[in-house]
A = this chain, B = another copy of it.
Amino acid sequence: MLELSFRTERSTELIDITARVRDLVAEIGTGTAALIYVPHTTAAVTINEKIDPVLVEDLEVALTRLSGDPDHFRHDDKDGPNGTSHLRSTLVGPQQLIPIGPDGLALGTYQAIFFCEFDGPRDRKVYVTTL
């Protein structure tokens, strides 16, 4: 199991990690599918279109809107009230599993892997392993 480490910059931020995941999968060298796992409870990982930076911003805004009014959550940890961050983590989910074909990750033509920061900025990790 290998891992990525990085610092996020904004409170809500989708970060394209496709190239870094591809590198780790190549380093591992074998496997039928790659597991990308986020060990955090206010972050997630998704797969969506890589082409249009406007879409990424749209998704950041839409996921925030979807998670509702922050005042509806009573949870308040040492980092402040971040209930909507936890909800978005559950809705998007902490892992993706992608088949590996003869040319590596079998992502679709338009697919990229995005780390989803929902409570940044923070230091974050992503685990990558193959099955």
Chain A interfacial positions (CB closer than 8 Å to B)? 1, 32-33, 35, 37-41, 46-49, 51-52, 54-55, 57-59, 61-63, 65-68, 72-75, 77, 83, 86-87, 89-99, 101, 106-111, 127, 129-131
Q: Are A72 and B62 in contact (CB under 8 A)?
A: yes
For A99, give its contact among B67, B92, B109, B129 (CB under 8 Å).
B129
Q: Are B99 and A75 in contact (CB under 8 A)?
A: no
Q: How many copies does the complex hold?
A: 3
Q: Are A110 and B62 in contact (CB under 8 A)?
A: no
Which 5 A-B residue pairings sit nearest by Cβ, starting from the closest?
A39-B108, A55-B75, A41-B49, A58-B73, A46-B90
Q: Are B131 and A47 in contact (CB under 8 A)?
A: no
